[in-house]
Structure 1
């Protein structure tokens, strides 16, 4: 029977059992793949085989096209040590679509115990997979250090394999086994991918909810903390400014003169307005910084800050006190005048008459000075007490200003935070709805895929059973011929 007839028979056999599975590619053009682990000598062996068998195309894995299926796989291992588990996996990948596999132990010219290694390799592969139980093994020396290459056994084995009339059918059966397993794995992988995607979406949903709760709590705590700090800092700032200005006004009152006395009241009123304005400006800047730090809209400006009414200092007329001061001053001046007169009479008797007039004038001047000085000191004392009262009222006004502005700012920022949280909740709800919709789609897709997989599983299993039965029948018959 022709090769195309064998391929068609195998295709018809599988299509009858699993028509949903796409047919594999056309296969190979007759290429023999030479592969093996690193440093096993596969490159040297491929070059030697090209020389000994020029009518056959030999290729290494990197020279084989992706869709090209080798007709025979030559698996090359070194005689230095038995195969490892990774070497078995390499053979599985290389011979996944090819049934004809020949094992080769290289470097037999160097390693004298290569036959023991060959037996160990054959036993290891038989334990690894039942398909390798009839796999032939050959020892070669592709590039010996001394003498000619030893390739006769391998060349004869390859000729036998290539001349096998069932080779095309066997390889097609193995290719179909690979295709059926790939289709079944694709169903499982698709289900796993959907489950992984669903788990990832569930984790993302939980993270969004957790982040939203944490963010709301942190922003509320941050707002309260910032408002409390603003209240303390601004109150301290206002009282510090009042204390500083009060100290300056006390010094000004202590150095007050009669000429500057009328201008002292307007000066104090101007300083009070400056303090209130500075505190109001500081409150505005601080609250703007708080809003910026919390990423909220700026706090609306409050009403124009107005300080307390200052008025004029209470310098009232003091008649009774002035009389007493005049009396005391007159007595003091009289005493000074009499003392000077007596002193002048003792020192210069000739000037007694003119000196009396001078002494009287000096006593009068002393009286005027005492009365004026006592009145100025009294006015300074009144100004000092008045300044304390004015700044006490100013501090109360500043405290009220700070408290009012902070309360208004707290209300405005709380409202803005609530609006922002509401906007965030809407965005979160939209995100959660999108994730839930995607989860429903994945659940529906998983259900459909599971139904399709369950529907296709019996057909794929039946096809695999038929293909493997064909391969087992061939290898069993080959084993019987070899035993006879």
Structure 2
């Protein structure tokens, strides 16, 4: 390559050099601008330096960072740092961003008029920047005082350096080479990232976690619902059986108390009263069972079981109050003897008090004896009836308790079957939903796997020519830099 060709179109020559390796690489995708970017950390003094440079070099255009787009490639970058302290890692990152498409970088240490140790800071800046990246090892550094407190500005060294470097015929070529290096490095990084699935890893990881979560929720939900139903059914059996026994015990006590104070007038109605109370207890237990099972199903989020038709109370025999003939005769004999004894005692009492009233005493004694005989026989019969009713109440309530316990057990079993079927239906529906969700996730995972495989194949195909082009560009940069 002759110097004439190099000077005539250095940008085209660099593009042709890269295109010779890979014809698909026609342009680095940047917009070359004949401007000088002056930038630096906050309060470094870049604004004052721009004003001074515009005054000293009116033939060149100086801009700040907000005037340059991401795809713009300035002709030079002047990076301004304060002499207060050496540059930090964040400052190095700022240089990388500003000079990603530009090779000509000049470091300027500002405010040297107020910091006597600025040369030490400059030397440290040069060392740190060179350690940050190999491309900065030959960066030129100068000290400036663009807006000193006393005297005129001191930017002579920077102005002279800019004039010399911007007038160099090789600057445009090196800037173009640097733009190509940045472009090739970016493209290769993107191919590497796509081939490794780096941009998909977060999504793939999230999908796998979601898949595990769906399956785990399915297993946990099924186990929790089954365990909860089993536990509630067992509690219902115990609680409802206790409720039925408690109601029977309460009614037994109530009816036995009534039987212990029974009178002749109420004797005939007692059987009907007991039947009414039995029906009421059956209804109460049925209602209690229905409410308990409904509340249990609602708490579990299931459909309450259907309420069966009302059950008929158990049939029971009437109280055995009419089969006491022999006992009645015996009581009449005993009562007559008791009454006769009372009558003789009364007649003697009258005879001892007044012998003339012997006949009246016999009559009065007979009447009193007869009354006492009737009363004893009657009371003995009533007491016997009360005992009989008490026993009969015990038998009736025993039958009622057995009936209710069987009824409770039957209804709980029926409810368990209905609720278990409902749980099975819900489990099946959840299983279908979980399967659909897992299928959808698996499909997306396969899509990501296929896309990653395609990107890896494209990476393997495109990286060799890109790497070759990058090696040529870097060789050109190193060759020209060493000259």
Check whether TM > 0.5.
yes
TM-score by length of 2: 0.91
Unmatched tracts of structure 1, length 5 or more? 478-484
Contact 2:77-2:105 at 8 Å conserved across structures = yes
Q: Does 1:236 align with 2:242?
A: yes
Which of 403, 417, 422 is 1:397 aligned to?
403
Q: Does 1:113 align with 2:117?
A: yes
After TM superposition, list the pairs within 5 Å mapping 1:223-372 onto structure 2: 223-347=229-353, 353-354=359-360, 356-372=362-378
Deviations 1:214-257 (A, max 9, x none): 22222221221111111111111111111111111111111211
Query: SS where residue 27 of structure 2 aligns?
Result: coil
Residue 303 of structure 1, CA deviation: 4.0
Deviations 1:415-454 (A, max 9, x none): 2222222222222222222222222222221211111111
Distance 1:65 1:356 in 2: 145
Residue 119 of structure 1, CA deviation: 1.3
Aligned partner of 1:218 in structure 2 is 224
Aligned partner of 2:159 in structure 1 is 155
Q: Does 1:387 align with 2:393?
A: yes
Distance 2:356 2:71 in 1: 150
- Greater CA drift, 406-415 or 211-220: 211-220
Deviations 1:79-129 (A, max 9, x none): 222222232222112211111111011121222111121112112222222
- Distance change (3 Å), C-alpha of 1:306 and 1:69: farther
Aligned partner of 1:470 in structure 2 is 476
Distance 1:336 1:144 in 2: 147
Aligned partner of 1:7 in structure 2 is 11
Residue 2 of structure 1, CA deviation: 9.8
Query: SS where residue 310 of structure 1 aligns?
Result: coil
- Greater CA drift, 375-384 or 45-54: 45-54
After TM superposition, list the pairs within 5 Å mapping 1:454-469 onto structure 2: 454-469=460-475
Unmatched tracts of structure 2, length 5 or more? none
Aligned partner of 2:74 in structure 1 is 70
Residue 355 of structure 1, CA deviation: 5.0
Distance 2:47 2:348 in 1: 144
TM-score by length of 1: 0.91
Contact 1:21-1:180 at 8 Å conserved across structures = no
Residue 348 of structure 1, CA deviation: 5.6
Deviations 1:189-221 (A, max 9, x none): 222123443333333323322332222222221
- Distance change (3 Å), C-alpha of 1:20 and 1:357: farther
Residue 55 of structure 1, CA deviation: 4.7
Contact 1:265-1:311 at 8 Å conserved across structures = no
Contact 2:15-2:26 at 8 Å conserved across structures = no
Which of 97, 100, 108 is 1:96 aligned to?
100
Aligned partner of 1:174 in structure 2 is 178
Aligned partner of 1:430 in structure 2 is 436
Q: Does 1:27 align with 2:31?
A: yes
Distance 1:318 1:22 in 2: 127
Aligned partner of 2:208 in structure 1 is 202
Distance 2:134 2:472 in 1: 16
Number of aligned residue pairs: give it: 477
Residue 58 of structure 1, CA deviation: 3.1
Distance 2:29 2:171 in 1: 17
Contact 1:40-1:76 at 8 Å conserved across structures = yes
Contact 1:44-1:142 at 8 Å conserved across structures = yes
- Distance change (3 Å), C-alpha of 1:402 and 1:183: same
Residue 42 of structure 1, CA deviation: 2.8
Contact 2:348-2:361 at 8 Å conserved across structures = no
Residue 3 of structure 1, CA deviation: 9.0
- Greater CA drift, 84-93 or 222-231: 84-93
- Distance change (3 Å), C-alpha of 1:363 and 1:10: same
Residue 322 of structure 1, CA deviation: 0.8
Distance 1:451 1:142 in 2: 54
Contact 1:269-1:311 at 8 Å conserved across structures = no
Deviations 1:381-424 (A, max 9, x none): 11111111111111111111111111112222222222222222
Distance 2:56 2:285 in 1: 102
Distance 2:459 2:213 in 1: 33
Distance 1:238 1:54 in 2: 107
Contact 2:11-2:176 at 8 Å conserved across structures = yes
Distance 1:71 1:292 in 2: 77
Distance 1:439 1:330 in 2: 107
Residue 21 of structure 1, CA deviation: 4.9
- Distance change (3 Å), C-alpha of 1:3 and 1:412: farther
